[in-house]
Amino acid sequence: MNFYVHPTAIVDENCQIGDGTKIWHFCHIMSGAVIGNNCNLGQNVVVSPKVILGNNVRVQNNVSIYEGVICEDDVFLGPSMVLTNVINPRSAVSRKHEYKTTLIKKGASIGANATIVCGNTINEYAFIGAGAVVIKDVPAYALIVGNPG
């Protein structure tokens, strides 16, 4: 085991966690999650089943990464940013069969409290500013701010 897990974190069976990765206080890594090498997951991060995080991904505090999210290498997810996985969520209706894939490509950065609506691609080295709401694909190297971004 060449990665660090804080004693308060929960790592379910059947996860893949790469060398040099650090998982901090009160995180939950669910069965089927894949986390690359040299990642850093801050406090209170949830990584759901079937999520893929590449190498050198940084996830700041209070981020939930839901099924359907793929982050390539060198991605930064800022504090308390939000990723969704269903376009039309309802309390009493199961929508698991409607999960959408969100792809965050190499080197992209997402600022604090930004929201990424599911089914979109954030292309290489794009920068999503703090508090922005992304409702469509983002081109490579773009700067997105505001609501909607």
* The pLDDT value given to residue 114: 99
CA distance 141 to 88: 29
Tens of pLDDT along 58-92?
Answer: 999 999 999 999 999 999 999 999 999 988 888 88
What CATH class has 1-149?
mainly beta
Q: With contact defined as beta carbons under 8 Å apart, do 58 and 40 qualify? A: yes
Whether residue 98 is predicted with pLDDT greater than 90 in this model: the reply is: no
Higher pLDDT pick, 117 / 97: 117
Domain extents for the chain? 1-149
